[in-house]
């Protein structure tokens, strides 16, 4: 029964990540319900694992301990205007599932996909004479934001897949 609960939580985690990514792409916002639901799924999955004896409490504590600095850095990035608030919350929530063993891979995949998204956004920037024809600098033509939800979802989906394969 515990395995069924944990697999269901992983599947719902994946669905929520995709939903958050789609919403971010279409509205440039991530509703609070996505990270809140992911945290709830982590709590359910972890509780089931601890109660059954399949997951040590220390592993859950380490997953939470890994999430705290990620959230703190995310808040600093939000304050600097580099990330949106929804991105910060989704990143922290998804990192819970990554835990200690997958956190670096999660962050690396998220960063690489985020970089690709950034390049894709920049690819739409006017260049050459068109960029400065109106007297503005090329920097003023840069889009203000990049939807980072899809990058976080890519990292989280990798985590879900790698957990499911074990």
User: What does the pLDDT profile of the chain (166 residues) look like in tens digits?
Assistant: 889 999 999 999 999 999 999 999 999 999 999 999 999 999 999 999 999 999 999 999 999 999 999 999 999 999 998 899 999 999 999 999 999 999 999 999 999 999 998 888 777 765 545 555 555 555 555 566 788 999 999 999 999 999 977 7
Taking the CA atoms of 19, 25, 29 and 35 in sequence, report the sign of the dihedral they define. Answer: positive
Residue 154 is predicted with a pLDDT of 98
* pTM of the entire predicted model: 0.88
Distances (CA, A) of 93 to 45, 52, 87, 130, 132: 14, 23, 10, 42, 42
Distance CA 129, CA 147 (A): 28
Residue 121 is predicted with a pLDDT of 78
Residue 67 is predicted with a pLDDT of 97
Give exposure, 95-120, as e/b (b: 16+ Cβ within 10 Å).
Answer: bbbbbebbbeebbebbeebbeebeee
């Amino acid at each position: 029964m515990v395995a069924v609960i944990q697999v269901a939580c992983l599947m719902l985690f994946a669905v929520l990540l995709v939903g958050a990514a789609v919403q971010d792409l279409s509205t440039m916002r991530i509703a609070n319900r996505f990270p809140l639901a992911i945290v709830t799924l982590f709590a359910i999955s972890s509780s089931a694992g601890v109660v059954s004896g399949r997951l040590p409490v220390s592993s859950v504590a380490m997953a939470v301990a890994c999430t705290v600095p990620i959230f703190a850095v995310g808040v600093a990035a939000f304050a600097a205007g580099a990330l949106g608030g929804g991105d910060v919350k989704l990143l922290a929530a998804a990192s819970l599932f990554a835990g200690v063993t997958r956190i670096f891979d999660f962050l690396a995949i998220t960063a690489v996909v985020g970089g690709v998204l950034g390049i894709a956004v920049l690819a739409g920037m006017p260049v050459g004479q068109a960029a400065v024809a109106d007297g503005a600098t090329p920097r003023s033509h840069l889009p203000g934001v990049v939807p980072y939800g899809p990058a976080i979802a890519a990292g989280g989906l990798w985590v879900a897949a790698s957990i499911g394969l074990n």
